[in-house]
Homo-oligomer: A and B are copies of this chain.
């Protein structure tokens, strides 16, 4: 099961890398940007917990996304230690396109599955790790 899930993931990621390259987003960048996009003000720690990343490995990603003007770091309203991460207008525009591209490639890569099977597959996978 672990083997098959890994092979399926790598198969999708292979096409993902190709299709999302024009946006300058690798899978981890995409998942970070997507989480910030749909949860403005999220902190680094929350991102790490949600995406199963380690804090030291997130630092460079955040710095890179900020340098590209895709996100902004704002002081957290209630915690002076934390920093809220917000998408810029440019980041929002990029993610709207990137998420459509990702959705399209996912359907293409799972073209041997029906829509119902795609939903079943997602549900079963999440029952394993959530």
Contact = CB atoms under 8 A, between A and B. Distances in A.
Interface residues of A, number: 33
Q: How many copies altogether?
A: 2
A1 B124 contact: no
Nearest to A12: B2
Nearest to A124: B121
B122 A117 contact: no
26 contacts: A1-B12, A1-B110, A1-B121, A1-B122, A2-B9, A2-B12, A2-B13, A2-B106, A2-B109, A3-B27, A4-B122, A4-B129, A5-B8, A5-B9, A5-B125, A7-B125, A8-B126, A8-B128, A9-B9, A10-B52, A12-B128, A110-B128, A112-B128, A117-B124, A121-B121, A124-B124
